[in-house]
Amino acid sequence: MYGSYLYSLHKFEIDLEHSQTDYKDSTPKYRQTDLTVVDNYYLKDNTRLRFGIHNILINQKDNPNNYDNILFAGILYYQLYTHSLGVDVYRC
């Protein structure tokens, strides 16, 4: 499920996903829920600044690693319908 909201020069985004894997053997079910929240800020010179967090929640019997997150930020320069150039940085 995805939603976004544009207000002035800000665009807020939120994405929620869930998946489940059932194995044919005795391996416990694997359930994963992802929640991503992003803030985009558009500057007047065709530049977009972006930062956010991607949360990962895992529910699996006998798995002690049940939460992780990834922080990210980036900058993008664009010319509409012609080209863009950007860089993103991630911290796991």
Q: Are 69 and 54 in contact (CB under 8 A)?
A: yes
Contacts of 36 (CB under 8 A, 6+ apart): 13, 14, 15, 52, 53, 54, 55
If one compares 30 and 84, the residue with the highest pLDDT of the two is 84
What values do phi and psi take at 18, rounded to 5? -140, 140
If one compares 63 and 6, the residue with the highest pLDDT of the two is 6
CA distance 51 to 45: 18
Q: Is the pLDDT of residue 77 over 90?
A: yes
List the Cα angle 21/71/86 in 5-degree steps: 110
At 39-49, the pLDDT tens digits run 999 998 999 99
Average pLDDT of the residues in 38-66: 90
Report residue 4's pLDDT band, with 50, 70 and 90 as the boundaries: very high
- pLDDT of 26 reads 85
If one compares 63 and 5, the residue with the highest pLDDT of the two is 5
Which helix (DSSP H) or strand (DSSP E) does residue 78 occupy?
Answer: strand 67-79
